[in-house]
C-alpha cells in the first residue's frame, strides 16, 4: 500500500470520481425497479444562473438527503432542471444585443426568441456543470426545462383548467411596473431597500375660500392623477371639510373629500391625496368610493396627455418642474427628509412605478383554502417549525396573483382575441374560427405568463404530468423540498396550491427552510458589497468536500450562515484527517480476514469502546438526518472520526498492530476495517469524493462503489456500556500521564515509571487488566496499580476519574538540575508578578489607562499568580 499518496489532493480526485459515478449510471433511477420511493425536485436554478454560496448550501443539503436515502435502499431520484427565468434571461439577451446596438424590437418577436434559445444553448449548462463540481447526484438524464415541450403542455393545461373553473380573470390593477423593462413585476421581482428620500407637503386650496388642506407625498408627480383627498373617519377636521371641494393645484381639477379607515392619521398631515391609477392602496380606495381613474404616465415613465403642461416629460423631470411651479405659486409648504422602502426592478435596478394596467389574474382564495388545510392537518411539515405560522398567516391574507408579464420570453398566454366581435377565446392552439361570429381573424395575447406559473407545477410537471405515467404514480408526492426562506410564499405556497388543485395531492411532505449565507460580519453577500465568496474558487482551493462539510458543519438548523474563507479549513483539515487515518489503516491490513462476526467475549475493552461509539454514531446521524439537523450529524461524525477513532482507537491499535500477539493483531485489523468502512459510509453523503476515493483502495469482496453501498445499521452486537465508559476514563488517565511527561520534560523516547492509585475497587480490577496497554500508550517502562499507595517520593501526580496517576521521577532525572530549572522558572514568574502588582498599585496608571487595559492587567495578575503557585508546587518535589 505504499502507492497511496501521502497528501489528499481533491483536484486529482473529484472530477475522476464524478466520471466514475456517471459511467456506472449511478445517478439514474427507474420507477419500474420498484422499492420504496424517495424523490426530491431541485428548486430549479435560473438558466442564467451562476453557482453562488446560497446554491452551494441548498444543494449540499439536498445531496446529503439523496445520498443517505440512496444508500438506505430507497429508489431515489433527485430531479434536476432549470427555470427559463423570463425577465432575467430576456434582459441578458437584450444586453448582448445592445452591444451590437440592437434592441429586441429591431429583431422582432420571433427572431428575438430564436436568439434567446441560442443563448440558452450556449450558457444554460453553466450551473449544471457547477453543481456537478459540487458533487450533486441529481438524475442528470431527467433534466427538465420550464419551457420544454412537456412543461409547456403542463402550463397550458393548468391555465385552461383554472380558466374553466372561473379562477382566471382579466382586470385593471395597480401592479409593480418597470418603465425600463416595460413589464409588470411580481412582488418578489422588486427589491426593496430603505432609502432616504423626501416627503413633500403640498397645499391644496379649498374652493371658495383662502384656506387650503395640506397633503404629503413622496412622489409629487403622481398628484396630477389625483381624484380625491381622504381622511380618517375619526379625524376632527372632517366636520369642516366634508361639504367642501378641493382644487388640485396646477391642473385645477376639482377633488372630492372622502373618508376611509385606511387613512393613517399619523402619516404626514393625516390628509392624503387619492391617486387610483398610481398606488395600489389608492386603487382599492377608489373602488370603495367609486372614484374615477386618471392615468398620467405612459408605459415608459413619460408623462401623458393627462399630465397637462408636463406631457412628454420623464417622470423625474416632471417632478422637478412641478415642484418649481408649486414653489413659485407658494403651494409648497415644506420638504422633510423621509426614509422609506424604495422598490427597484431586480433585473435592471430602475425605480419601479406602481401603475394601473390591464392584466390577467388568478383568484387565489379557492386555491389557498386546501393548501392551508394541508399544513394545518400536518400533511406537510415545515422544518424549522416556526415557518408554519408564517405560512398560515400569509395564506389567510392571500391576494390574487397577477400572472401576465409584458415580456417576449416565456409561455405565451393561451388567449385569443377575435378581431371581428372582440370575443376572448381560450385555447392551446390558434382557433380556426371564432366560436361566436365564426370570424377567422384572431390574435393571440401578446403577454407571457409569470415565470412562477411554470415553476409552481415543478414537482409533478417534471415527473411527466399531464400524462398519466409510471414515474408520476411512483415518485409523487415527492418527499422533501429544500429551499431558502425568500421564496416560501412565491414558490413553496404556490406549489402546495397547484399540487392539491391539479394532482389532488400535496407536492411534498417536508419543507426544509435553510438560512441565508452571509459574510462573517453578518452582511448578505452581494456584488456591490464585494463580499462574495465564490464557491468555485473554494472548490478549486479547498475541494468540494471541504466546501460541503464546512458549510454544513457551521450552519445550525434554519439559521443564517456566517462565512469567511478560513471556515473552509475545517472541511479541508477533516478531509486530510480522513485520508491520513485511512492511509494508516489501509497500510496495515495485510492478512486481514475482514471478519465482522465479533465475539464480544474476545474483544478488548478498546474494541468494545470504539464499536459502541460507532453504534452510537450510526444511531445519532440517522436521527439527526431524519430531523433535518444536518450540522448535528456533521458534528457527530467529526467528533467520532477525529476524536474517538483517530485520537484514541488508532493510537491504541498501533500497539496491537506492531505487537507480538498475532491473535490481537488480527482482531484489531478486523475492528479497524469494520470501523473505517462504516465511517466512510456515514461520511459519504457529506463528503462524497474523498470517501469514495478511499473506498476504491479498501480491499473488498465486491466492486460496488461507496455511493450505492448499504447504509450502516445500528450494531446488533451487545456491548458492555460500562466497559466503554471505563475506556473513556482510561483515555483521560493516559492524557493526564502524557501531560505529566511533557510538564517534567521527559524526552519522548525515554521510558519512565508510573504508579496509579485507583479511586475504587472496580477501577482497580479494570486498571490491572489494562496495565500493559496503558504502559504502551504512555511509553512507560512500567505501570503499577497500587490500591494501598501511601506516599511516594519525587512523584508529581494528576487526579483522573479512574484514579491518581504518579510519574516516578526518582532515579530518572538529575534532581539538582531539575530543582535549579524550576527555581529559575519560579523566579521569572515571580518577577513578572511583582511588576504587574506594582503597575496595578500605581494610581496614575489606574486613573489614566482605559478600563479595558486595566482589566487586562488584572487578568494577567491572576494568571501569573496561578502559574507561580503551580511552579512552586512542582519545585517542592525537588526540595
Interface positions with Zn ion (CB under 5 A): 178, 180-181, 345, 347-348, 350, 418, 420-421, 423, 434, 436-437, 439
Say how many C-beta atoms besides its own lie within 10 A of residue 111's C-beta: 10
HEC string of 312-324?
CCEHHHHHHHHHH
First to last CA, the chain: 53
Three-class DSSP category at 668:
helix
- Look at residues 176, 187, 498 and name the one whose alpha carbon lies nearest to residue 359: 176
Question: If residue 421 lies in a helix (H) or strand (E), which one and from where to where?
Answer: none
Helix (H, G, I), strand (E, B) or coil at 142: strand
Give which of 182, 399, 380, 185 is closest to 299, Cα–Cα: 182
Minimum distance from residue 429 beta carbon to Zn ion (Å):
17
- Identify which of residues 88 and 553 has a Cβ nearer to Zn ion in the complex: 88
Q: Helices (H) and strands (E) in the chain — how many of each?
A: 29, 28
Shortest separation between residue 350's beta carbon and Zn ion, angstroms? 5
Q: Is 581 exposed, middle or buried (0-12, 13-18, 19+ CB in 10 A)?
A: buried
CB of 159 to Zn ion, least distance (A): 21
Which residue, 439 or 600, is less far from Zn ion as judged by CB? 439
Choose between 338 and 423: whose C-beta lies nearer to Zn ion. Answer: 423
- Helices 544-553 & 568-586 angle (0-180, nearest 10): 120
CB of 425 to Zn ion, least distance (A): 8
Query: What is the smallest separation between the CB atom of 341 and Zn ion, expressed in angstroms?
Result: 17
Strand partners, 183: 178
For Zn ion, the closer of residues 420 and 792 by Cβ is 420
Q: How far is the CB of 52 from Zn ion (least distance, A)?
A: 21
Q: How far apart are CA 134 and CA 571, in angstroms?
A: 14
Calculate helix-pair angle for 544-553, 10-23, nearest 10 degrees: 90
- C-alpha 311, offset from chain centre: 48
Cα of 529 vs its chain's centroid, Å:
20
Question: Which residue's CB is nearer to Zn ion, number 422 or number 721?
Answer: 422
Nearer to Zn ion, 359 or 612 (CB): 359
Name the residue nearer to Zn ion (CB basis): 300 or 336: 300
Give the DSSP letter of residue 412. B
CA distance 282 to 318: 21
**Cross-strand bridge partners of residue 343:** 192
φ, ψ of residue 94 to 5 degrees: the values are -65, -35
Residue placing its CB nearer to Zn ion in the complex, 129 or 300:
300
Answer yes or no: are the C-beta atoms of 417 and 443 closer than 8 Å: yes
C-alpha cell at 171: 382586470
Helix crossing, 10-23 with 688-697: angle to 10°? 80
Give the nearer residue to Zn ion in terms of CB position, either 420 or 619: 420
Q: Find residue 483's DSSP bridge partners.
A: 513
Eight-class DSSP state of 396? H
- Minimum distance, C-beta of residue 177 to Zn ion, in the bound complex (Å): 9
For the CB of residue 704, give the shortest distance to Zn ion in the complex, in Å: 52
Of 419 and 825, the one with the shorter C-beta distance to Zn ion is 419
CB of 420 to Zn ion, least distance (A): 5
Residue placing its CB nearer to Zn ion in the complex, 180 or 837: 180
Shortest distance (Å) from residue 522 CB to Zn ion: 29
Give the whole-angstrom CA distance, residue 453 versus residue 450: 5
**Complex with Zn ion: residue 180 or 379, whichever CB lies closer:** 180
Cell of 156: 397550458
Neighbours of 107 (CB within 10 A): 16
Choice between 268 and 343, CB closer to Zn ion? 343
SS3 197: strand
Task: Write out the three cell numbers for 580.
Answer: 491520513
CA distance 229 to 277: 14
Question: How many residues does this entry show for the chain?
Answer: 879
Closest approach of Zn ion to the CB of residue 630, in Å = 37
Q: How far is the CB of 485 from Zn ion (least distance, A)?
A: 24
Decide whether 314 or 325 has the Cβ nearer to Zn ion. 314
| Shortest reach from residue 294's CB to Zn ion, in Å | 25
Q: How far is the CB of 183 from Zn ion (least distance, A)?
A: 8
Shortest spacing between CB 179 and Zn ion, in angstroms? 8
CB of residue 357 vs Zn ion: minimum separation in angstroms?
A: 15
For residue 257, the SS3 value is strand
Dihedral of CA atoms 264, 265, 267, 269 in degrees, nearest 10, equals: 140
- Measured from the CB atom, the residue of 158 and 181 that comes closer to Zn ion is 181
Sheet containing 415-418: order of strands: 424-426, 415-418, 442-444
Q: For the stretch 485-514, what's the b/e string if a residue is b when 16 or more beta carbons lie within 10 angstroms of its beta carbon?
A: eebbbbbbbbbbbbbbbbbeebbbebbbbb
194: left (phi over 0), alpha (psi -120 to 50) or beta: beta
DSSP state of 588: T
Query: Least Å distance between CB 436 and Zn ion?
Result: 4
Continuous segment of H or E residues that includes residue 816: helix 815-841
Inter-CA distances, 218 with 267, 341, 630, 747, Å: 12, 11, 47, 78
Amino acid at each position: 500500500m505504499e502507492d497511496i499518496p501521502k497528501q489528499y489532493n481533491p483536484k486529482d480526485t473529484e472530477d475522476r470520481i464524478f466520471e466514475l459515478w456517471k459511467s456506472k449510471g449511478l445517478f439514474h433511477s427507474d420507477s419500474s425497479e420498484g422499492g420504496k420511493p424517495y424523490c426530491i425536485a431541485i428548486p430549479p436554478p435560473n438558466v442564467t444562473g451562476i453557482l453562488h454560496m446560497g446554491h452551494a448550501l441548498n444543494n449540499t443539503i439536498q445531496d446529503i438527503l439523496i445520498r443517505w436515502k440512496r444508500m438506505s435502499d430507497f429508489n431515489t431520484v433527485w430531479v434536476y432542471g432549470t427555470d427559463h427565468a423570463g425577465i432575467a434571461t430576456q434582459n441578458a439577451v437584450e444586453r448582448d444585443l445592445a452591444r451590437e446596438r440592437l434592441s429586441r424590437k429591431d429583431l422582432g418577436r420571433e427572431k428575438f426568441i430564436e436568439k434567446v434559445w441560442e443563448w440558452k444553448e450556449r450558457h444554460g449548462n453553466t450551473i449544471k456543470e457547477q453543481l456537478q463540481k459540487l458533487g450533486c447526484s441529481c438524475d442528470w438524464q431527467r433534466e427538465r426545462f420550464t419551457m420544454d415541450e412537456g412543461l409547456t403542455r403542463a402550463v397550458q393545461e393548468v391555465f385552461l383548467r383554472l380558466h374553466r373553473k372561473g379562477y382566471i380573470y382579466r382586470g385593471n390593477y395597480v401592479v409593480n411596473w418597470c418603465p425600463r423593462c416595460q413589464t409588470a413585476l411580481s412582488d418578489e421581482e422588486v427589491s426593496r431597500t430603505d432609502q432616504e428620500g423626501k416627503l413633500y407637503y403640498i397645499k391644496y386650496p379649498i374652493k371658495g375660500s383662502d384656506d387650503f388642506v395640506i397633503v404629503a407625498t413622496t412622489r409629487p408627480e403622481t398628484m396630477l392623477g389625483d381624484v380625491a383627498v381622504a381622511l380618517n373617519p375619526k379625524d376632527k377636521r372632517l366636520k369642516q371639510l366634508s361639504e367642501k371641494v378641493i382644487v388640485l393645484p396646477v391642473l385645477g381639477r376639482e377633488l372630492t373629500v372622502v373618508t376611509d379607515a385606511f387613512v393613517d392619521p399619523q402619516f404626514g398631515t393625516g390628509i392624503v391625496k387619492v391617486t387610483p391609477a398610481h398606488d395600489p392602496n389608492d386603487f382599492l380606495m377608489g373602488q370603495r368610493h367609486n372614484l374615477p381613474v386618471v392615468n398620467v404616465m405612459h408605459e415608459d415613465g413619460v408623462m401623458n396627455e393627462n399630465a397637462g403642461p408636463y406631457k412628454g416629460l420623464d417622470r423625474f423631470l416632471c417632478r422637478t418642474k412641478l415642484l418649481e411651479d408649486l414653489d413659485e405659486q407658494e403651494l409648497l409648504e415644506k420638504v422633510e427628509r423621509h426614509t422609506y422602502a424604495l422598490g427597484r426592478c431586480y433585473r435592471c435596478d430602475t425605480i419601479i412605478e406602481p401603475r394601473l394596467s390591464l392584466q390577467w389574474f388568478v383568484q387565489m382564495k379557492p386555491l389557498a383554502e386546501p393548501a392551508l388545510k394541508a399544513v394545518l392537518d400536518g400533511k406537510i411539515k415545515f422544518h424549522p417549525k416556526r415557518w408554519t405560522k408564517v405560512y398560515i398567516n400569509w395564506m389567510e391574507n392571500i391576494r390574487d396573483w397577477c400572472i401576465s408579464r409584458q415580456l417576449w420570453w416565456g409561455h405565451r398566454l393561451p388567449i385569443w382575441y377575435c378581431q371581428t366581435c372582440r370575443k376572448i377565446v381560450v385555447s392551446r392552439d390558434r382557433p380556426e374560427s371564432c366560436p361566436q361570429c365564426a370570424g377567422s381573424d384572431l390574435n393571440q395575447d401578446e403577454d407571457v405568463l409569470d415565470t412562477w406559473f411554470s415553476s409552481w407545477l415543478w414537482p409533478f410537471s417534471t415527473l411527466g404530468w399531464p400524462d398519466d405515467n409510471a414515474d408520476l404514480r411512483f415518485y409523487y408526492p415527492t418527499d422533501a423540498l429544500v429551499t431558502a426562506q425568500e421564496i416560501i410564499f412565491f414558490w413553496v405556497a404556490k406549489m402546495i396550491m397547484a399540487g392539491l388543485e391539479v394532482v389532488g395531492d400535496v407536492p411534498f411532505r417536508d419543507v426544509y427552510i435553510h438560512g441565508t449565507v452571509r459574510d462573517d460580519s453578518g452582511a448578505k453577500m452581494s456584488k456591490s458589497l464585494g463580499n462574495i465568496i465564490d464557491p468555485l474558487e473554494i472548490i478549486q482551493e479547498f475541494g468540494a468536500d471541504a466546501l460541503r462539510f464546512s458549510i454544513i458543519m457551521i450552519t445550525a438548523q434554519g439559521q443564517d450562515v456566517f462565512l469567511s474563507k478560513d471556515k473552509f479549513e475545517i472541511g479541508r483539515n477533516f478531509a486530510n484527517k480522513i485520508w491520513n487515518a485511512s492511509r494508516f489503516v489501509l497500510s496495515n491490513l495485510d492478512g486481514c480476514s475482514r471478519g465482522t462476526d465479533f465475539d464480544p467475549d474476545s474483544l478488548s475493552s478498546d474494541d468494545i469502546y470504539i464499536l459502541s461509539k460507532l453504534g452510537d454514531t450510526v444511531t445519532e446521524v440517522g436521527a439527526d438526518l431524519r430531523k433535518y439537523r444536518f450540522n448535528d450529524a456533521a458534528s457527530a461524525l467529526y467528533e467520532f472520526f477525529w476524536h474517538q477513532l483517530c485520537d484514541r482507537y488508532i493510537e491504541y491499535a498501533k500497539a496491537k498492530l506492531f505487537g507480538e500477539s498475532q491473535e490481537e493483531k488480527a482482531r484489531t485489523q478486523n475492528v479497524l476495517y469494520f470501523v473505517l468502512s462504516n465511517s466512510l459510509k456515514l461520511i459519504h453523503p457529506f463528503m462524497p469524493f474523498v470517501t469514495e476515493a478511499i473506498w476504491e483502495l479498501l480491499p473488498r469482496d465486491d466492486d460496488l462503489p461507496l455511493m450505492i453501498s448499504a447504509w450502516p445499521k445500528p450494531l446488533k452486537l451487545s456491548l458492555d456500556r460500562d466497559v466503554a465508559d471505563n475506556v473513556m476514563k482510561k483515555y483521560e488517565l493516559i492524557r493526564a500521564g502524557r501531560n505529566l511527561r511533557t510538564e517534567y520534560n521527559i524526552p519522548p523516547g525515554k521510558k519512565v515509571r508510573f504508579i496509579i492509585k485507583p479511586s475504587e475497587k472496580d477501577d482497580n480490577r479494570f486498571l490491572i487488566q489494562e496495565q500493559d496497554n496503558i504502559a504502551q500508550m504512555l511509553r512507560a517502562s512500567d505501570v503499577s496499580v497500587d490500591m494501598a499507595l501511601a506516599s511516594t517520593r519525587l512523584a508529581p501526580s494528576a487526579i483522573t476519574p479512574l484514579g491518581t496517576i504518579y510519574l516516578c521521577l526518582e532515579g530518572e532525572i538529575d534532581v539538582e538540575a531539575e530543582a535549579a530549572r524550576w527555581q529559575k522558572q519560579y523566579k521569572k514568574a515571580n518577577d513578572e508578578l511583582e511588576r504587574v502588582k506594582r503597575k496595578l498599585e500605581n494610581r496614575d496608571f489606574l486613573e489614566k489607562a482605559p478600563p479595558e487595559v486595566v482589566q487586562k492587567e488584572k487578568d494577567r495578575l491572576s494568571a501569573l499568580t496561578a502559574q507561580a503557585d503551580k511552579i512552586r508546587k512542582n519545585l517542592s518535589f525537588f526540595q
